Chains A and B, each alone.
Chain A
């Protein structure tokens, strides 16, 4: 008898437990509302997704995004990384600039200091520039050891309009490579 009552109580608790809503997490790195709450205002440079996991020894690609850009034609991204955990492998142009027939991307890696400079430019399209949010570069790293590497955009990073005027960057997002 007691067992039956206990079963009903258990069922009651089970149903009560099942109706718990999931934790709210609006963490799209390109969500201006979320980033604003974090103190990052557009235009900003962010990684999306802002955290990736990989097995140590494997390569992993992180996507650099510009958020809230207006009349963007070119960018210089300086990314700082932990050279004991990852090494730069390659970079490709993001689809934000891929519409231009003359768009290009190039990288300069200072592996001794863990600094990667990526230059990306839009050109040859129907318009001179792009606006809004977009992926401007996909950077591939090789993981060297187990650990978390925080990728940060340095203040040397720049955005420019078609007239080569600098666009003020108001926020810098961070990315994490978790090698395990």
Chain B
């Protein structure tokens, strides 16, 4: 049975369709106000308006009036800027009777602005086009960038007058889904993945959110996973009483992942120490609760550079080689490393005593082991030198002994040769003893390196964990029990 609200919406849709069909040929497109992070609502609204106007000016598509979009949003109980998810866009777009919806977000990290825009098809409900703009300059320059983005979104040639109007001091970059993608996901391609907001430590929450958005977009661009919408996650987290930023523990991530029915949860933290930024990203299997992958990124430079770095990290996390175009945008100073592990410490100490301890930040132990091995090495070298000297003397004396004729000479040379031979045997015994000691120290150092090696967070469970999970790939529920054996 239709209620009054639905009747009004259907009527509104009918009216909109009539207006649109009376216009010139072309797809009808509606634009949602871009979500602003780090810029004010009025600024994001103004920039969205400029984008919409630019689209209309191009004339290639028919643009639905903002008033109508607002009316539908109000009818649906959304705020002007509350409809940011793909689902919402599809819902609103269906009511408006358009073919495509364009939505996006404008963020700010340091002095750099990011614009992430996407075009959603009403027919399939899928994102058919994604464009990203990274802009370094005054916020005023975004007005022009939004105009340019309108052309880019329609994949039309940008007029030269717009390009020439760009501020000479600004730096901008534009990318899209056209980037080459190679590689494969750790799970099967098409695994469902949700990205939780990265926890910001030393950077603002808005910057963390903006970077998370860029990470999320980059993961989606790889095309190897199916990404759960941020809004769906937000709603779920709110239902569960979490703030989006409050869900930072593995347990929470797994719980959210189970509720969402995804296979993997991606998340992490962005920190700042001095002038160095760190991004710790992890991917947790919801079914098993095991951290499947951890990557650490260390970056020195302006916070703005994190925009590119987090995109590179996104590719790395899903085992896809980052496009060269993306790598070329890096400003340098960043390294992605695997986290320190006990095994890593063990292997390093196997190569060089103490190296594993230094790797584990146990420098005193590390240098101690090194010193012990160097000392024993010195003793070996000293004994080896004694052996060589005695050997050389022995050979010389044997030459004299063999050529000697007189008894006295023979007895003397033989006696001296025997003495040198005894020295050789002593040195040999010492060398063998020291080498055994060196080997013992080496092995002990390896064991010690393993014992004092770094303990990754994901292994820091306090006891058995029982986890009920739903595996969407098999459609079966499973009960997982995790018991730490190293306690």
- Say whether A123 faces chain B, with CB atoms less than 8 Å apart: no
Instruction: Type the 1/0 row for A137-150, where 1 means its CB is closer than 8 Å to any CB of B.
Output: 00000000000000
Which of B402, B410, B421 touches A21 (beta carbons < 8 Å)? B421
In the assembled complex, the CB of A46 is this many whole angstroms from the nearest CB of chain B, namely 11
The yes or no answer to B330 lying at the interface (CB within 8 A) is: no
B428–A21 contact, CB under 8 A?
yes
Cβ of B424 under 8 Å from chain A: yes
Shortest CB distance A145–B (Å):
29
Whether B414 lies near A19 (C-beta < 8 A) is no
Residues of A contacting B140 in the complex (Cβ-Cβ under 8 angstroms) = none
Tell me how far the C-beta of B323 lies from the nearest C-beta in chain A, rounded to whole angstroms: 31
Q: What string of 1s and 0s marks CB contacts (under 8 Å) between B333-355 and chain A? A: 00000000000000100110000
- Give which listed residue, A1, A18, A28, contacts B401 with CB less than 8 A: A28
B435–A12 CB distance below 8 A:
yes
- Chain B residues with CB below 8 A from A5, complex form: 350-351
User: Bound complex: CA of A22 vs CA of B351, how far in Å?
Assistant: 33
Is B439 on the interface with A (CB-CB < 8 A)? Answer: yes
Interface string of A10-43 (1 = CB under 8 A from B): 0010011011111011111011110000000000
Residues on A with C-beta less than 8 A from B428 are 19-21
Question: Residue A15 contacts which of B394, B417, B435 (CB distance < 8 angstroms)?
Answer: B435
A152 → chain B, closest Cβ, in Å? Answer: 22
A102, chain B: closest CB distance, angstroms: 23
- In angstroms, Cα B410 to Cα A14, docked, is 35
Decide if A15 touches B384 in the complex (CB within 8 Å).
yes
Query: Which chain A residues (140-174) contact chain B, with CB distance < 8 Å?
Result: none
Pick from A81-89, A108-116, A127-135 the stretch touching chain B. A127-135
- Judged by a CB distance under 8 angstroms, whether A99 is at the interface is no
Q: Which of A8, A19, A30 contacts B431, CB < 8 Å?
A: A19
**B interface residues, how many (CB within 8 angstroms):** 30
Instruction: Decide if A26 touches B401 in the complex (CB within 8 Å).
Output: yes
Q: Is the CB of B407 within 8 A of A68?
A: yes
| Known A19-B427, A21-B428; contact A30-B404, beta-carbon cutoff 8 A | yes
A4 at the interface (CB under 8 A from B): yes
- Judged by DSSP, the binding face of B is helix
Query: Which residues of the other chain, B, contact A132 by a CB distance below 8 angstroms?
Result: 406-407
Q: Interface extent on A, as a size class? A: 20 to 34
B391 touches A21 (CB 8 A): yes
A28 touches B410 (CB 8 A): yes
A-B contact count (CB 8 A): 69
- Measured between beta carbons, the chain A residues less than 8 angstroms from B432 are 16, 19
Contact A30 B414 (CB under 8 A): no
Q: Are A31 and B424 within 8 A (Cβ)? A: no
Q: Chain A nearest CB: distance from B344 CB in Å?
A: 11
Q: Which of A5, A19, A24, A31 has the most CB of B within 10 A?
A: A19
| Contact partner, A4, options B351, B405, B410, Cβ 8 Å | B351
When each residue 403-434 of chain B gets 1 if its CB lies under 8 Å from chain A and 0 otherwise, what string results?
A: 01111001100100110010011011001100
CB neighbours of B384 from chain A (8 A): 15, 18-19
List the B side residues contacting A33 at CB < 8 Å.
411, 414
Residue of B nearest to A49 (CB): B402
Q: A21-B424, A31-B410 are in contact. Are A16 and B350 (CB under 8 A)?
A: no
Residues of A within 8 A of B391 (CB): 21-22
Considering the chains assembled together, what is the distance between the CA atoms of A9 and B410 in angstroms? 42
CA of A168 to CA of B342, assembled, Å:
81
Q: How far is the CA of A81 from the CA of B418 in the complex (A)?
A: 36
User: Are the CB atoms of B405 and A30 closer together than 8 Å?
Assistant: yes
Q: Which of these, B347, B407, B421, contacts A133 with CB under 8 Å? A: B407
Which B residues lie within 8 Å of A4 (CB)? Answer: 350-351
- Interchain CA distance A135-B351 in the complex, whole Å: 61
B34-58 contacts to A, CB under 8 A, are none
Residues in A with CB closer than 8 Å to B402 are 27-28, 49
A135 touches B405 (CB 8 A): yes
A residues in contact with B404, CB < 8 Å: 28, 30
Task: Tell me, in angstroms, the Cα distance from A165 to B427 when the chains sit together.
Answer: 53
Given A12-B439, A15-B435 in contact, is the A22-B406 Cβ separation under 8 Å? no
Inter-subunit contact B410/A30 (CB<8 Å): yes
Q: Which residue from A8, A21, A133 sits with its C-beta under 8 Å from B406?
A: A133
Across the interface, name the chain A residue whose C-beta is closest to B420. A21
Whether A32 and B421, one on each chain, are in contact in the complex, defined by CB atoms closer than 8 angstroms, is no
Q: From A24, A30, A49, A68, give the contact of B421 (CB < 8 A).
A: A24
Task: State A112–B124 Cα separation when bound (angstroms).
Answer: 117
Measured in the bound complex, the distance between the Cα atoms of B425 and A12 in whole Å is 18
Question: Of residues B347, B398, B402, which shows the largest number of chain A Cβ atoms within 10 Å of its Cβ?
Answer: B402
Query: Residue B380 at the A interface, CB < 8 A?
Result: yes
| Closest A residue to B439 using CB positions | A12
Contacts A21-B424, A21-B428, A30-B405 supplied; 13 other A-B pairs, CB < 8 Å:
A1-B351, A4-B350, A5-B350, A5-B351, A16-B435, A19-B432, A20-B428, A22-B395, A26-B417, A28-B404, A30-B404, A30-B410, A135-B405
Give me 8 A-to-B residue pairs in the complex whose CB atoms sit less than 8 angstroms apart, sorted by A's number: A12-B439, A15-B431, A15-B435, A21-B391, A21-B394, A28-B414, A31-B401, A135-B405
